[in-house]
Structure 1
Amino acid sequence: MVSFVCDHCGKCCTSIGAYIKIERQLSDRDYYCKNTITGEVFPVHVVPEFAEEIDEEVISGAAGSRSGCIFLRRNPAGPGFVCAIYPTRPRLCREFRCYHMVIFNARGEPAGRMVGRADIRTADPVLARIWNDEVKPLPSPTTPRSDPAWLERVCAILTAHGYRGEAVEGGTV
């Protein structure tokens, strides 16, 4: 098993983050938010460096016009994005994985990632062909992690062609 490693692209926060809505502001750094998919209400605490910026958006009403999560911010220390409520982020965010398997070539180098239910992201044309011809036709599970037999079957197909698939477990977003 390989560990999930977030590359801070922000795509998850612009998609699933759209379902995180502020219900009530408690202080300049504390809010009650709601996951509009599950109805779960949870408290969040904004890290100090983003508190004023988020507070201004909430007061001005700009928070409601965002297409993604209000707590997603550009990383001031480098490329990508960061979460302004990372230590108190909701379960939806803690459990999210944007890829479920890393596929390695014969040299042990990462050659692709399985995303979604059974899609692949790869620049390797041979791996793309194998995936489209042999893996895609398999009935896909609701979630790859929920069907170990499906993952074993996919790994066997990859191994037969000189690749190695490793399911992603743990890690933090």
Structure 2
Amino acid sequence: MQLVHCITEDRGDYTFVVYNYYSGDVKEVRVDPDKYALYEDRSSLENLPEACPFLRFDDRGKAWCTVHLTRPDICRDYCCWRLLILDSGGRRVGRVLYQRTFMADNDALRNLWERIKPTLTGLDDREWDKTLIDTLMASGYQVRR
């Protein structure tokens, strides 16, 4: 089950209605015509069961939003993120984009990231996520997938 966007209706012809658990928004999206084949190939998400249902990776590992032209507003505002990092008040302070690109919006989180980074070396994707999330949560942050 996807934890951010959930397809609530398949209207056919690559058109879907999605619900965003984070914002509560409901939006109709359509797979970009040049990305039909990429959308059909779900193999790149085998290890990411909670990823956005429209995220795909090409054979070089580059991430693609297959509904980029009609993507929800929250995606336009936040860019494509796998993990959203919130402070204790629920305000965005950072995010993890694509596979492991960490983006901090303030110095406190940037400094924490510099301390965390060495502990993540050599971990597989699941371990990397778990270690990062556990450390962030222990430091008072909330994390959304």
Pick 1 or 2: higher relative contact order, CA cutoff 8 A, min separation 6.
1
TM-score by length of 1: 0.40
Larger Rg: 1
TM-score by length of 2: 0.47
